[in-house]
Chain A
Amino acid sequence: MNLILLSAIWGVVMMFSGLFLNSKSAAKTVALVGAVALLIGNLFDLSGKMIINSDFKGMLHYERFGLLFLTVLILALLIYILLSGKDVEAVGKHSFEYFALIFFVMSGAGLVALFNNLLILFIGIEIVSIPLYILTGSDKRNLKGNEAALKYFLMGSFSTGILLMGIAFLYGAAGSFQVERLAAITSDNFTAFTTVGIVMVMVALAFKVSAAPFHFWTPDVYDGAPTVFTSFMATIVKAAIFIGFLNLFTNAFAGKADTWKLTVAVITALTLFIGNITAVYQQSVKRMLAYSSIAQAGFMLFAVFAVNDLSKQGLLLYAAAYCFATIGIFAVLVKMKDYTFEGFNGLAKRQPLVAFVLTVCFLSLAGIPLTAGFFAKYYVLAAAVKTGTYLWLVIFAVLMAAVSVYYYFRVIQAMYFKDGEAQELEITAPFKALLVVVAAVVVVLGVYPSLLTNMLFFF
Protein backbone atom coordinates (compact mmCIF):
# COMPACT_ATOMS: atom_id res chain seq x y z
CA MET A 1 0.00 0.00 0.00
CA ASN A 2 2.89 2.37 0.77
CA LEU A 3 4.07 2.19 -2.81
CA ILE A 4 0.65 2.86 -4.33
CA LEU A 5 0.02 5.82 -2.04
CA LEU A 6 3.50 7.30 -2.19
CA SER A 7 3.81 7.14 -5.95
CA ALA A 8 0.38 8.72 -6.48
CA ILE A 9 1.26 11.47 -3.99
CA TRP A 10 4.69 11.97 -5.49
CA GLY A 11 3.16 12.36 -8.94
CA VAL A 12 1.15 15.30 -7.64
CA VAL A 13 4.22 16.66 -5.83
CA MET A 14 6.13 16.53 -9.11
CA MET A 15 3.46 18.54 -10.90
CA PHE A 16 3.39 21.21 -8.22
CA SER A 17 7.15 21.42 -7.99
CA GLY A 18 7.09 22.03 -11.74
CA LEU A 19 4.95 25.03 -10.98
CA PHE A 20 7.09 26.41 -8.17
CA LEU A 21 10.62 25.47 -9.14
CA ASN A 22 11.81 27.46 -12.09
CA SER A 23 14.90 25.50 -12.95
CA LYS A 24 14.11 22.77 -15.41
CA SER A 25 16.97 20.56 -14.35
CA ALA A 26 15.56 20.17 -10.84
CA ALA A 27 13.07 17.61 -12.21
CA LYS A 28 15.55 14.77 -12.13
CA THR A 29 16.51 15.51 -8.54
CA VAL A 30 12.92 15.68 -7.34
CA ALA A 31 12.13 12.44 -9.18
CA LEU A 32 15.16 10.78 -7.66
CA VAL A 33 14.02 11.72 -4.16
CA GLY A 34 10.63 10.26 -5.03
CA ALA A 35 12.10 7.02 -6.29
CA VAL A 36 14.16 6.61 -3.14
CA ALA A 37 11.02 7.31 -1.08
CA LEU A 38 9.20 4.61 -3.06
CA LEU A 39 12.00 2.17 -2.39
CA ILE A 40 11.95 2.85 1.35
CA GLY A 41 8.16 2.67 1.42
CA ASN A 42 8.28 -0.62 -0.42
CA LEU A 43 10.80 -2.08 1.99
CA PHE A 44 8.44 -1.14 4.83
CA ASP A 45 5.69 -2.86 2.84
CA LEU A 46 7.80 -5.99 2.71
CA SER A 47 8.28 -5.98 6.47
CA GLY A 48 4.57 -5.43 7.01
CA LYS A 49 4.65 -1.83 8.22
CA MET A 50 2.17 0.17 6.16
CA ILE A 51 0.77 3.67 6.37
CA ILE A 52 -2.73 2.33 5.87
CA ASN A 53 -2.74 -1.25 7.02
CA SER A 54 -5.87 -2.43 5.29
CA ASP A 55 -6.56 -4.80 2.43
CA PHE A 56 -9.74 -2.84 1.54
CA LYS A 57 -12.16 -5.69 2.17
CA GLY A 58 -9.95 -8.20 0.43
CA MET A 59 -9.46 -6.16 -2.74
CA LEU A 60 -5.69 -6.07 -2.36
CA HIS A 61 -3.52 -9.01 -1.52
CA TYR A 62 -0.10 -8.35 0.00
CA GLU A 63 1.72 -11.34 -1.30
CA ARG A 64 5.46 -11.62 -0.84
CA PHE A 65 5.94 -12.28 -4.55
CA GLY A 66 4.08 -9.15 -5.63
CA LEU A 67 5.91 -6.93 -3.15
CA LEU A 68 9.30 -8.35 -4.10
CA PHE A 69 8.50 -7.90 -7.77
CA LEU A 70 7.64 -4.28 -7.09
CA THR A 71 10.99 -3.87 -5.34
CA VAL A 72 12.70 -5.02 -8.52
CA LEU A 73 10.61 -2.58 -10.56
CA ILE A 74 11.46 0.30 -8.24
CA LEU A 75 15.16 -0.52 -8.41
CA ALA A 76 14.83 -0.52 -12.20
CA LEU A 77 13.05 2.84 -11.99
CA LEU A 78 15.85 4.20 -9.82
CA ILE A 79 18.48 3.11 -12.33
CA TYR A 80 16.30 4.46 -15.14
CA ILE A 81 16.01 7.89 -13.56
CA LEU A 82 19.72 7.98 -12.74
CA LEU A 83 20.77 6.94 -16.23
CA SER A 84 18.18 8.65 -18.39
CA GLY A 85 16.78 11.41 -16.19
CA LYS A 86 18.61 14.10 -18.14
CA ASP A 87 17.22 12.75 -21.40
CA VAL A 88 13.68 12.77 -20.03
CA GLU A 89 14.16 16.45 -19.28
CA ALA A 90 15.38 17.00 -22.81
CA VAL A 91 12.24 15.61 -24.49
CA GLY A 92 10.25 18.78 -24.14
CA LYS A 93 9.64 21.71 -21.90
CA HIS A 94 7.29 19.91 -19.47
CA SER A 95 10.00 17.88 -17.77
CA PHE A 96 8.26 17.74 -14.37
CA GLU A 97 5.08 16.42 -15.93
CA TYR A 98 6.87 13.55 -17.64
CA PHE A 99 8.20 12.37 -14.30
CA ALA A 100 4.79 12.90 -12.73
CA LEU A 101 3.26 10.59 -15.32
CA ILE A 102 6.00 8.04 -14.67
CA PHE A 103 5.11 8.07 -10.98
CA PHE A 104 1.43 7.61 -11.78
CA VAL A 105 2.38 4.60 -13.88
CA MET A 106 4.24 3.18 -10.88
CA SER A 107 1.10 3.60 -8.79
CA GLY A 108 -0.83 1.60 -11.38
CA ALA A 109 1.91 -1.02 -11.39
CA GLY A 110 1.46 -1.37 -7.64
CA LEU A 111 -2.25 -2.00 -8.09
CA VAL A 112 -1.65 -4.54 -10.87
CA ALA A 113 0.90 -6.41 -8.77
CA LEU A 114 -1.20 -6.60 -5.62
CA PHE A 115 -4.75 -6.97 -6.94
CA ASN A 116 -7.12 -9.50 -5.49
CA ASN A 117 -10.19 -8.23 -7.27
CA LEU A 118 -10.80 -7.76 -10.98
CA LEU A 119 -11.87 -4.16 -10.41
CA ILE A 120 -8.41 -3.36 -9.06
CA LEU A 121 -6.80 -5.18 -11.97
CA PHE A 122 -8.81 -3.12 -14.44
CA ILE A 123 -8.10 0.19 -12.71
CA GLY A 124 -4.42 -0.70 -12.37
CA ILE A 125 -4.07 -1.54 -16.03
CA GLU A 126 -5.79 1.68 -17.01
CA ILE A 127 -3.63 3.77 -14.69
CA VAL A 128 -0.61 2.16 -16.31
CA SER A 129 -1.89 2.70 -19.86
CA ILE A 130 -3.35 6.20 -19.95
CA PRO A 131 -0.17 8.05 -18.87
CA LEU A 132 1.72 6.03 -21.45
CA TYR A 133 -0.48 7.33 -24.27
CA ILE A 134 0.54 10.82 -23.22
CA LEU A 135 4.23 9.96 -22.82
CA THR A 136 4.27 8.38 -26.28
CA GLY A 137 3.01 11.59 -27.86
CA SER A 138 4.96 13.88 -25.55
CA ASP A 139 7.31 15.09 -28.28
CA LYS A 140 4.63 17.20 -29.86
CA ARG A 141 6.51 18.29 -32.97
CA ASN A 142 7.54 14.78 -33.90
CA LEU A 143 5.11 13.39 -36.49
CA LYS A 144 6.12 9.82 -35.74
CA GLY A 145 5.50 10.33 -32.05
CA ASN A 146 2.00 11.66 -32.72
CA GLU A 147 1.18 8.76 -34.94
CA ALA A 148 2.55 6.28 -32.41
CA ALA A 149 0.42 7.86 -29.67
CA LEU A 150 -2.67 7.52 -31.82
CA LYS A 151 -1.98 3.89 -32.64
CA TYR A 152 -1.20 3.10 -29.03
CA PHE A 153 -4.38 4.76 -27.88
CA LEU A 154 -6.59 2.95 -30.40
CA MET A 155 -5.09 -0.47 -29.71
CA GLY A 156 -4.94 0.12 -25.98
CA SER A 157 -8.54 1.17 -25.56
CA PHE A 158 -9.70 -1.59 -27.88
CA SER A 159 -7.99 -4.16 -25.68
CA THR A 160 -9.49 -2.45 -22.64
CA GLY A 161 -12.91 -3.04 -24.17
CA ILE A 162 -12.12 -6.72 -24.62
CA LEU A 163 -10.76 -6.99 -21.07
CA LEU A 164 -13.94 -5.43 -19.70
CA MET A 165 -16.14 -7.74 -21.74
CA GLY A 166 -14.20 -10.69 -20.34
CA ILE A 167 -14.59 -9.39 -16.80
CA ALA A 168 -18.33 -8.90 -17.43
CA PHE A 169 -18.70 -12.55 -18.46
CA LEU A 170 -16.67 -13.76 -15.49
CA TYR A 171 -18.90 -11.64 -13.27
CA GLY A 172 -21.94 -13.22 -14.88
CA ALA A 173 -20.57 -16.65 -14.01
CA ALA A 174 -19.24 -15.92 -10.53
CA GLY A 175 -21.32 -13.05 -9.18
CA SER A 176 -18.24 -11.45 -7.68
CA PHE A 177 -14.96 -9.87 -8.70
CA GLN A 178 -12.97 -11.53 -5.94
CA VAL A 179 -10.21 -13.79 -7.16
CA GLU A 180 -11.05 -16.54 -4.63
CA ARG A 181 -14.61 -16.63 -5.91
CA LEU A 182 -13.36 -16.94 -9.50
CA ALA A 183 -11.03 -19.75 -8.50
CA ALA A 184 -13.99 -21.56 -6.96
CA ILE A 185 -16.19 -21.34 -10.05
CA THR A 186 -13.44 -22.13 -12.54
CA SER A 187 -12.74 -25.40 -10.76
CA ASP A 188 -16.32 -26.43 -9.85
CA ASN A 189 -19.06 -25.41 -12.20
CA PHE A 190 -17.58 -24.52 -15.51
CA THR A 191 -19.88 -22.76 -17.94
CA ALA A 192 -19.64 -21.15 -21.36
CA PHE A 193 -19.54 -17.77 -19.64
CA THR A 194 -16.34 -18.72 -17.84
CA THR A 195 -14.67 -19.94 -21.01
CA VAL A 196 -15.56 -16.80 -22.95
CA GLY A 197 -14.47 -14.67 -20.01
CA ILE A 198 -11.10 -16.37 -19.64
CA VAL A 199 -10.38 -16.18 -23.37
CA MET A 200 -11.28 -12.50 -23.60
CA VAL A 201 -9.22 -11.57 -20.56
CA MET A 202 -6.33 -13.59 -21.98
CA VAL A 203 -6.54 -11.82 -25.34
CA ALA A 204 -6.68 -8.41 -23.70
CA LEU A 205 -3.67 -9.09 -21.49
CA ALA A 206 -1.79 -10.51 -24.48
CA PHE A 207 -2.46 -7.19 -26.21
CA LYS A 208 -1.03 -5.29 -23.27
CA VAL A 209 2.15 -7.37 -23.02
CA SER A 210 2.46 -7.34 -26.86
CA ALA A 211 2.27 -11.08 -27.42
CA ALA A 212 1.70 -12.25 -30.98
CA PRO A 213 -0.77 -12.25 -32.77
CA PHE A 214 -1.69 -9.07 -30.88
CA HIS A 215 1.74 -7.49 -31.15
CA PHE A 216 1.34 -5.37 -34.27
CA TRP A 217 1.12 -2.05 -32.45
CA THR A 218 4.39 -2.64 -30.60
CA PRO A 219 7.08 -1.93 -33.21
CA ASP A 220 5.41 1.28 -34.38
CA VAL A 221 4.74 2.57 -30.90
CA TYR A 222 8.18 1.69 -29.56
CA ASP A 223 9.80 3.15 -32.65
CA GLY A 224 7.73 6.33 -32.72
CA ALA A 225 7.83 7.18 -29.04
CA PRO A 226 10.72 9.27 -27.68
CA THR A 227 13.52 6.77 -26.97
CA VAL A 228 13.66 7.45 -23.23
CA PHE A 229 10.00 6.55 -22.90
CA THR A 230 10.42 3.49 -25.10
CA SER A 231 12.93 2.33 -22.53
CA PHE A 232 10.37 2.81 -19.77
CA MET A 233 7.50 1.17 -21.69
CA ALA A 234 9.50 -1.82 -22.83
CA THR A 235 10.84 -2.68 -19.40
CA ILE A 236 9.07 -1.57 -16.25
CA VAL A 237 5.58 -1.33 -17.70
CA LYS A 238 5.77 -4.62 -19.53
CA ALA A 239 7.05 -6.43 -16.45
CA ALA A 240 4.31 -4.83 -14.34
CA ILE A 241 1.57 -6.10 -16.62
CA PHE A 242 3.17 -9.54 -16.69
CA ILE A 243 2.86 -9.91 -12.95
CA GLY A 244 -0.84 -9.11 -13.22
CA PHE A 245 -1.12 -11.72 -15.95
CA LEU A 246 0.69 -14.35 -13.88
CA ASN A 247 -1.16 -13.58 -10.65
CA LEU A 248 -4.54 -13.73 -12.35
CA PHE A 249 -3.81 -17.05 -14.00
CA THR A 250 -2.19 -18.57 -10.91
CA ASN A 251 -4.74 -17.46 -8.36
CA ALA A 252 -7.94 -17.51 -10.39
CA PHE A 253 -7.72 -19.79 -13.38
CA ALA A 254 -5.18 -22.45 -12.37
CA GLY A 255 -7.92 -24.90 -11.44
CA LYS A 256 -8.93 -25.33 -15.07
CA ALA A 257 -5.47 -25.06 -16.55
CA ASP A 258 -6.12 -27.69 -19.24
CA THR A 259 -8.74 -25.48 -20.91
CA TRP A 260 -6.42 -22.56 -21.60
CA LYS A 261 -2.99 -24.23 -21.67
CA LEU A 262 -3.10 -24.91 -25.39
CA THR A 263 -4.12 -21.34 -26.23
CA VAL A 264 -1.32 -19.88 -24.13
CA ALA A 265 1.12 -22.36 -25.68
CA VAL A 266 0.13 -21.26 -29.21
CA ILE A 267 0.40 -17.58 -28.24
CA THR A 268 3.84 -18.24 -26.73
CA ALA A 269 5.11 -20.10 -29.80
CA LEU A 270 3.81 -17.41 -32.17
CA THR A 271 5.29 -14.63 -30.03
CA LEU A 272 8.71 -16.29 -29.97
CA PHE A 273 8.62 -16.97 -33.68
CA ILE A 274 7.41 -13.58 -34.91
CA GLY A 275 9.48 -11.59 -32.43
CA ASN A 276 12.75 -13.35 -33.18
CA ILE A 277 12.41 -13.82 -36.92
CA THR A 278 11.29 -10.26 -37.61
CA ALA A 279 14.01 -8.82 -35.41
CA VAL A 280 16.59 -10.41 -37.70
CA TYR A 281 15.50 -8.19 -40.60
CA GLN A 282 15.58 -4.85 -38.82
CA GLN A 283 18.00 -2.10 -39.81
CA SER A 284 17.40 0.17 -36.86
CA VAL A 285 18.58 -0.91 -33.42
CA LYS A 286 15.62 0.80 -31.79
CA ARG A 287 13.17 -1.18 -33.91
CA MET A 288 15.20 -4.34 -33.37
CA LEU A 289 14.87 -3.80 -29.62
CA ALA A 290 11.11 -3.39 -30.07
CA TYR A 291 10.93 -6.80 -31.74
CA SER A 292 13.32 -8.22 -29.19
CA SER A 293 10.95 -7.04 -26.46
CA ILE A 294 8.22 -9.06 -28.18
CA ALA A 295 10.53 -12.08 -28.20
CA GLN A 296 11.39 -11.61 -24.53
CA ALA A 297 7.66 -11.38 -23.78
CA GLY A 298 7.41 -14.82 -25.35
CA PHE A 299 9.84 -16.17 -22.77
CA MET A 300 8.03 -14.45 -19.92
CA LEU A 301 4.81 -16.06 -21.16
CA PHE A 302 6.32 -19.41 -20.18
CA ALA A 303 5.84 -18.39 -16.56
CA VAL A 304 2.15 -17.78 -17.24
CA PHE A 305 1.98 -21.04 -19.15
CA ALA A 306 3.49 -23.11 -16.34
CA VAL A 307 1.66 -21.60 -13.32
CA ASN A 308 3.71 -23.35 -10.62
CA ASP A 309 6.15 -22.28 -7.93
CA LEU A 310 9.09 -22.20 -10.33
CA SER A 311 7.27 -19.78 -12.62
CA LYS A 312 7.17 -17.16 -9.87
CA GLN A 313 10.93 -17.37 -9.35
CA GLY A 314 11.38 -17.41 -13.10
CA LEU A 315 9.31 -14.32 -13.76
CA LEU A 316 10.97 -12.44 -10.92
CA LEU A 317 14.43 -13.22 -12.23
CA TYR A 318 13.42 -12.63 -15.84
CA ALA A 319 11.94 -9.25 -15.07
CA ALA A 320 15.10 -8.22 -13.23
CA ALA A 321 17.45 -9.48 -15.95
CA TYR A 322 15.41 -8.02 -18.79
CA CYS A 323 14.70 -4.65 -17.17
CA PHE A 324 18.29 -3.91 -16.13
CA ALA A 325 19.86 -5.03 -19.40
CA THR A 326 17.34 -3.19 -21.58
CA ILE A 327 17.48 0.01 -19.54
CA GLY A 328 21.26 -0.05 -19.87
CA ILE A 329 21.11 -0.48 -23.64
CA PHE A 330 18.49 2.20 -24.12
CA ALA A 331 20.39 4.64 -21.91
CA VAL A 332 23.28 4.49 -24.38
CA LEU A 333 21.01 4.40 -27.43
CA VAL A 334 19.27 7.62 -26.36
CA LYS A 335 22.59 9.44 -26.56
CA MET A 336 23.23 8.32 -30.14
CA LYS A 337 22.10 10.19 -33.20
CA ASP A 338 22.21 7.30 -35.63
CA TYR A 339 20.02 4.40 -34.57
CA THR A 340 21.10 2.00 -37.31
CA PHE A 341 23.51 -0.87 -36.78
CA GLU A 342 26.17 1.14 -38.62
CA GLY A 343 25.88 3.79 -35.95
CA PHE A 344 27.58 1.37 -33.55
CA ASN A 345 30.58 0.82 -35.82
CA GLY A 346 33.85 1.32 -34.04
CA LEU A 347 32.27 2.22 -30.72
CA ALA A 348 34.65 -0.08 -28.87
CA LYS A 349 37.66 2.00 -29.90
CA ARG A 350 36.22 5.30 -28.86
CA GLN A 351 34.27 4.21 -25.76
CA PRO A 352 35.66 0.86 -24.63
CA LEU A 353 33.84 0.84 -21.30
CA VAL A 354 30.43 1.67 -22.78
CA ALA A 355 30.94 -0.97 -25.46
CA PHE A 356 31.82 -3.53 -22.82
CA VAL A 357 28.70 -2.79 -20.75
CA LEU A 358 26.55 -2.95 -23.86
CA THR A 359 28.08 -6.31 -24.69
CA VAL A 360 27.24 -7.66 -21.24
CA CYS A 361 23.67 -6.40 -21.60
CA PHE A 362 23.23 -7.91 -25.05
CA LEU A 363 24.72 -11.21 -23.87
CA SER A 364 22.23 -11.21 -21.04
CA LEU A 365 19.32 -10.60 -23.41
CA ALA A 366 20.54 -13.46 -25.58
CA GLY A 367 20.79 -15.72 -22.53
CA ILE A 368 24.49 -16.53 -22.52
CA PRO A 369 25.72 -18.23 -19.29
CA LEU A 370 27.27 -16.08 -16.55
CA THR A 371 24.74 -13.36 -17.25
CA ALA A 372 21.36 -12.97 -15.58
CA GLY A 373 19.53 -13.73 -18.81
CA PHE A 374 20.76 -17.31 -18.80
CA PHE A 375 19.29 -18.27 -15.43
CA ALA A 376 16.17 -16.26 -16.16
CA LYS A 377 15.56 -18.30 -19.30
CA TYR A 378 16.56 -21.45 -17.45
CA TYR A 379 14.02 -20.90 -14.68
CA VAL A 380 11.06 -20.09 -16.93
CA LEU A 381 11.82 -23.05 -19.21
CA ALA A 382 12.34 -25.34 -16.21
CA ALA A 383 8.94 -24.25 -14.93
CA ALA A 384 7.41 -25.30 -18.24
CA VAL A 385 9.30 -28.64 -18.23
CA LYS A 386 8.02 -29.30 -14.71
CA THR A 387 4.43 -29.33 -15.97
CA GLY A 388 5.41 -32.41 -17.97
CA THR A 389 3.47 -31.50 -21.11
CA TYR A 390 4.18 -29.46 -24.22
CA LEU A 391 7.85 -30.34 -24.36
CA TRP A 392 7.95 -29.23 -28.02
CA LEU A 393 7.31 -25.68 -26.85
CA VAL A 394 10.44 -25.68 -24.70
CA ILE A 395 12.56 -27.08 -27.54
CA PHE A 396 11.14 -24.46 -29.87
CA ALA A 397 11.98 -21.73 -27.35
CA VAL A 398 15.59 -22.89 -27.14
CA LEU A 399 15.85 -22.81 -30.94
CA MET A 400 14.41 -19.31 -30.98
CA ALA A 401 16.89 -18.20 -28.32
CA ALA A 402 19.59 -19.37 -30.72
CA VAL A 403 18.08 -17.20 -33.46
CA SER A 404 18.09 -14.22 -31.10
CA VAL A 405 21.84 -14.55 -30.69
CA TYR A 406 22.20 -13.51 -34.33
CA TYR A 407 20.69 -10.07 -34.05
CA TYR A 408 22.12 -9.30 -30.63
CA PHE A 409 25.59 -10.22 -31.81
CA ARG A 410 25.22 -7.98 -34.86
CA VAL A 411 25.50 -5.00 -32.54
CA ILE A 412 28.46 -6.51 -30.69
CA GLN A 413 30.15 -7.26 -34.00
CA ALA A 414 29.54 -3.70 -35.20
CA MET A 415 31.06 -2.30 -32.02
CA TYR A 416 34.18 -4.43 -31.94
CA PHE A 417 34.99 -5.67 -35.42
CA LYS A 418 33.82 -2.97 -37.79
CA ASP A 419 35.71 0.21 -38.42
CA GLY A 420 33.82 3.39 -38.67
CA GLU A 421 33.51 6.93 -37.50
CA ALA A 422 32.01 6.34 -34.07
CA GLN A 423 29.56 9.01 -33.03
CA GLU A 424 30.45 11.59 -30.50
CA LEU A 425 28.66 10.62 -27.29
CA GLU A 426 28.19 12.97 -24.39
CA ILE A 427 29.08 10.59 -21.60
CA THR A 428 29.94 11.76 -18.12
CA ALA A 429 31.86 9.86 -15.48
CA PRO A 430 28.83 9.20 -13.19
CA PHE A 431 26.98 7.81 -16.20
CA LYS A 432 29.83 5.41 -16.86
CA ALA A 433 29.92 4.36 -13.22
CA LEU A 434 26.19 3.63 -13.30
CA LEU A 435 26.57 1.60 -16.47
CA VAL A 436 29.19 -0.47 -14.66
CA VAL A 437 26.71 -0.96 -11.82
CA VAL A 438 24.12 -2.22 -14.33
CA ALA A 439 26.64 -4.64 -15.81
CA ALA A 440 27.64 -5.77 -12.32
CA VAL A 441 24.02 -6.45 -11.38
CA VAL A 442 23.54 -8.45 -14.57
CA VAL A 443 26.65 -10.53 -13.95
CA VAL A 444 26.02 -11.06 -10.22
CA LEU A 445 22.48 -12.24 -10.90
CA GLY A 446 23.93 -14.49 -13.55
CA VAL A 447 26.28 -16.15 -11.09
CA TYR A 448 24.09 -16.15 -7.98
CA PRO A 449 20.45 -16.07 -9.16
CA SER A 450 19.45 -17.42 -5.75
CA LEU A 451 20.31 -14.02 -4.23
CA LEU A 452 17.04 -12.80 -5.72
CA THR A 453 14.91 -15.92 -5.88
CA ASN A 454 15.60 -16.91 -2.25
CA MET A 455 14.07 -13.66 -1.11
CA LEU A 456 10.72 -15.11 -2.14
CA PHE A 457 11.00 -17.43 0.83
CA PHE A 458 13.13 -15.73 3.44
CA PHE A 459 14.50 -12.31 3.97
Chain B
Amino acid sequence: MSDIPISHILFVSTALFFIGMYGLFTRRNMITMLMAIELILNSVNINFVVFNKYLYPDKLDGIFFTIFIVTIAAAEAAVAIAIIINLYRSHKSIDVEDATDMKY
Protein backbone atom coordinates (compact mmCIF):
# COMPACT_ATOMS: atom_id res chain seq x y z
CA MET B 1 0.00 0.00 0.00
CA SER B 2 2.76 2.39 0.92
CA ASP B 3 4.44 2.16 -2.48
CA ILE B 4 1.80 4.47 -3.98
CA PRO B 5 2.59 7.97 -2.71
CA ILE B 6 -0.29 9.98 -1.26
CA SER B 7 0.15 12.73 -3.83
CA HIS B 8 -0.85 10.38 -6.67
CA ILE B 9 -4.12 9.49 -5.01
CA LEU B 10 -4.82 13.10 -4.10
CA PHE B 11 -4.21 13.96 -7.75
CA VAL B 12 -6.83 11.44 -8.83
CA SER B 13 -9.38 12.73 -6.35
CA THR B 14 -8.77 16.37 -7.30
CA ALA B 15 -9.05 15.49 -10.98
CA LEU B 16 -12.34 13.70 -10.32
CA PHE B 17 -13.61 16.71 -8.36
CA PHE B 18 -12.91 19.08 -11.24
CA ILE B 19 -14.23 16.65 -13.87
CA GLY B 20 -17.43 16.59 -11.86
CA MET B 21 -17.53 20.36 -11.64
CA TYR B 22 -16.87 20.68 -15.38
CA GLY B 23 -19.63 18.21 -16.12
CA LEU B 24 -22.06 20.10 -13.89
CA PHE B 25 -21.39 23.36 -15.69
CA THR B 26 -21.29 22.13 -19.30
CA ARG B 27 -23.83 19.30 -19.51
CA ARG B 28 -27.46 20.18 -20.15
CA ASN B 29 -28.93 16.75 -19.54
CA MET B 30 -30.25 16.45 -16.00
CA ILE B 31 -29.24 12.83 -15.54
CA THR B 32 -25.69 13.65 -16.61
CA MET B 33 -25.64 16.55 -14.18
CA LEU B 34 -26.73 14.19 -11.43
CA MET B 35 -23.85 11.91 -12.40
CA ALA B 36 -21.48 14.88 -12.22
CA ILE B 37 -22.63 15.58 -8.66
CA GLU B 38 -22.03 11.94 -7.76
CA LEU B 39 -18.50 12.28 -9.17
CA ILE B 40 -17.85 15.26 -6.91
CA LEU B 41 -19.10 13.38 -3.86
CA ASN B 42 -17.05 10.31 -4.71
CA SER B 43 -13.90 12.33 -5.15
CA VAL B 44 -14.47 13.57 -1.60
CA ASN B 45 -14.88 9.97 -0.48
CA ILE B 46 -11.49 9.09 -1.95
CA ASN B 47 -9.97 12.03 -0.11
CA PHE B 48 -11.40 10.94 3.23
CA VAL B 49 -10.21 7.36 2.84
CA VAL B 50 -6.74 8.44 1.73
CA PHE B 51 -6.23 10.87 4.58
CA ASN B 52 -7.44 8.24 6.98
CA LYS B 53 -5.21 5.50 5.61
CA TYR B 54 -2.02 7.49 5.14
CA LEU B 55 -2.05 10.19 7.80
CA TYR B 56 -4.15 8.89 10.70
CA PRO B 57 -4.21 5.09 10.37
CA ASP B 58 -4.87 4.50 14.08
CA LYS B 59 -8.49 5.72 13.93
CA LEU B 60 -11.32 5.19 11.46
CA ASP B 61 -12.93 8.65 11.45
CA GLY B 62 -12.52 9.32 7.73
CA ILE B 63 -13.86 5.95 6.66
CA PHE B 64 -16.95 6.40 8.80
CA PHE B 65 -17.52 9.78 7.26
CA THR B 66 -17.59 8.22 3.78
CA ILE B 67 -20.36 5.88 4.88
CA PHE B 68 -22.45 8.90 5.86
CA ILE B 69 -21.67 10.59 2.54
CA VAL B 70 -22.72 7.52 0.56
CA THR B 71 -25.99 7.30 2.50
CA ILE B 72 -26.84 10.96 2.09
CA ALA B 73 -25.85 10.91 -1.59
CA ALA B 74 -28.35 8.09 -2.10
CA ALA B 75 -31.09 10.14 -0.41
CA GLU B 76 -30.19 13.13 -2.56
CA ALA B 77 -30.27 11.05 -5.74
CA ALA B 78 -33.73 9.75 -4.85
CA VAL B 79 -35.06 13.28 -4.40
CA ALA B 80 -33.28 14.45 -7.55
CA ILE B 81 -34.78 11.72 -9.68
CA ALA B 82 -38.23 12.51 -8.31
CA ILE B 83 -37.75 16.14 -9.31
CA ILE B 84 -36.48 15.14 -12.76
CA ILE B 85 -39.43 12.81 -13.37
CA ASN B 86 -41.79 15.56 -12.32
CA LEU B 87 -40.12 17.97 -14.73
CA TYR B 88 -40.23 15.38 -17.50
CA ARG B 89 -43.98 15.04 -17.01
CA SER B 90 -44.53 18.76 -17.45
CA HIS B 91 -41.87 19.63 -20.03
CA LYS B 92 -41.53 16.29 -21.90
CA SER B 93 -37.77 16.70 -21.80
CA ILE B 94 -34.91 16.36 -19.34
CA ASP B 95 -32.85 19.17 -20.81
CA VAL B 96 -32.31 22.02 -18.39
CA GLU B 97 -32.49 24.56 -21.23
CA ASP B 98 -36.17 23.73 -21.56
CA ALA B 99 -36.83 24.57 -17.93
CA THR B 100 -36.42 28.32 -18.09
CA ASP B 101 -39.80 29.75 -17.26
CA MET B 102 -38.42 32.29 -14.85
CA LYS B 103 -36.59 35.40 -15.87
CA TYR B 104 -33.27 36.14 -14.24
1/0 per residue B44-77: CB within 8 Å of A? 1001100100011001011011001100100110
Distance, CA A335 to CA B76, complexed state (A): 32
Q: What A residues does B104 contact at CB under 8 A?
A: 216, 220
Across the interface, which residues of B come within 8 angstroms of A157, CB to CB? 37, 76, 80
Cβ-based interface call for B79 (8 A):
yes
Residues of B within 8 A of A409 (CB): none
- CB of B48 within 8 A of CB of A168, answer yes
B54 smallest CB distance to A (angstroms): 9
Q: Are B47 and A153 in contact (CB under 8 A)?
A: no
Would you list which residues of chain A between 370 and 409 have a CB under 8 Å from chain B? none
Q: Determine whether B41 belongs to the interface, using a CB cutoff of 8 Å to chain A.
A: yes
Number of A-B pairs whose CB atoms are under 8 Å?
Answer: 108
A-B pairs with lowest CB-CB distance, top 8: A161-B40, A168-B47, A164-B44, A175-B56, A172-B51, A147-B99, A157-B37, A149-B83
Contact with B along A103-119 (1 / 0, CB 8 A): 00000000000000001
Instruction: Kindly list chain B residues whose C-beta atoms are within 8 Å of the C-beta of A223.
Output: 102
Contact residues of A with B, CB < 8 Å?
A: 119, 122-123, 126, 130, 133-134, 137, 140-141, 143-144, 146-150, 153-154, 157-158, 160-161, 164-165, 167-169, 171-172, 175-177, 216, 220, 223-224
Query: Taking CB as reference atom, which chain B residue is nearest A152?
Result: B83
Task: Assess A150 versus B84: contact at CB under 8 Å? Given A164-B44, A165-B47, A220-B102.
Answer: yes
Chain A residues within an 8 Å CB radius of B86:
137, 140, 146, 149
Chain A residues positioned under 8 Å from B59 (CB to CB): 175-176
Is A154 touching B24 in the complex (CB atoms < 8 A)?
yes
B26 proximity list for chain A (CB < 8 A):
none
Residue of B at shortest CB range from A172?
A: B51
**For B87, what are the chain A residues with a Cβ–Cβ distance below 8 Å?**
146-147, 150
Which of chain A's residues have a CB closer than 8 A to the CB of B20? 161
Asked whether A130 and B79 contact (CB < 8 A) given A137-B86, A140-B86, A176-B61, the answer is yes
Chain A's closest residue to B6 (CB) is A172
**Is the Cβ of A137 less than 8 Å from the Cβ of B47?**
no
B101 adjacent to chain A (CB < 8 Å): yes
Asked if A171 and B61 make an inter-chain contact with CB atoms under 8 angstroms apart, the answer reads yes
Chain B residues within 8 Å of A177, by CB: 61, 65
- Count of chain B residues with a beta carbon within 8 Å of a chain A beta carbon: 41
Query: With a CB–CB cut-off of 8 A, which chain A residues contact B100?
Result: 147
Residues on A with C-beta less than 8 A from B47 are 165, 168-169, 172
CA distance A158 to B25 in the complex (A): 10
**Across the two chains, which residue of chain B brings its CB closest to A154?**
B33
Q: How far, in angstroms, from A153 to B37 measured CA to CA in the complex?
A: 10
Interface string of B7-44 (1 = CB under 8 A from A): 00000000001001100100000100100010011011
Give the Cβ gap from A411 to chain B, nearest Cβ, in Å: 21
Cβ-closest chain A residue relative to B43: A165
Q: Report the nearest A residue to B99, measured CB to CB.
A: A147
Smallest CB gap from A132: residue in B? B79
A146-B87, A161-B44, A175-B55 known, 6 other contacts, Cβ within 8 Å: A130-B75, A134-B79, A146-B83, A168-B47, A171-B48, A223-B102
24 A-B contact pairs sorted by A residue (CB < 8 Å): A122-B68, A123-B68, A123-B72, A130-B76, A137-B83, A144-B102, A147-B100, A147-B102, A148-B102, A149-B83, A150-B30, A154-B37, A157-B76, A157-B80, A158-B21, A158-B24, A161-B20, A161-B41, A164-B41, A168-B48, A171-B51, A171-B65, A176-B61, A220-B102
